[in-house]
Amino acid sequence: ILNVEQSPQSLHVQEGDSTNFTCSFPSSNFYALHWYRWETAKSPEALFVMTLNGDEKKKGRISATLNTKEGYSYLYIKGSQPEDSATYLCARMDSSYKLIFGSGTRLLVRP
């Protein structure tokens, strides 16, 4: 993996469904993995910052895991709600202090 890749590109689910997205990234020179939630016309909202292999973080119905050895992170949303509709971005930080973003997963939750 040379770049940060996210899948799927978009996802449509029904309210109440649980869903998950994948972020793959280069595992070398890894410092941190950031997850953001971005709604149209708003600023990206920081969800999680993870640094250690095996890290698991949770914020309400949203949780994330990190595997730095194989270079991937999963974001889970339990019981999706229409207000969860947004683009979810992951970004990898290395020693250069810059975030390299994936192209995002666009989630639409139908009522």
Partner 1 sequence: KAGVTQTPRYLIKTRGQQVTLSCSPISGHRSVSWYQQTPGQGLQFLFEYFSETQRNKGNFPGRFSGRQFSNSRSEMNVSTLELGDSALYLCASSSGQPGGNTIYFGEGSWLTVV
Which parts of this chain interact with partner 1 (CB under 8 A)? 31-32, 34, 36, 41-44, 46, 49-51, 89, 91, 95-104
Q: How far is the CB of 94 from partner 1 (least distance, A)?
A: 10
101 Cβ contact partners less than 8 Å away, ≥ 6 residues apart: 4, 89, 90, 91
> Among all chains, which residue has been given the structure tokens 């950031």?
34
Question: How many Cβ atoms from other residues are within 10 Å of residue 74's Cβ?
Answer: 15
Q: Using the minimum distance from each CB to partner 1, give the nearer residue, 13 or 32.
A: 32
Q: Using the minimum distance from each CB to partner 1, give the nearer residue, 67 or 103.
A: 103
11 and 21 Cβ atoms separated by less than 8 Å: yes
Q: Using the minimum distance from each CB to partner 1, give the nearer residue, 75 or 91.
A: 91
Q: How far is the CB of 14 from partner 1 (least distance, A)?
A: 28
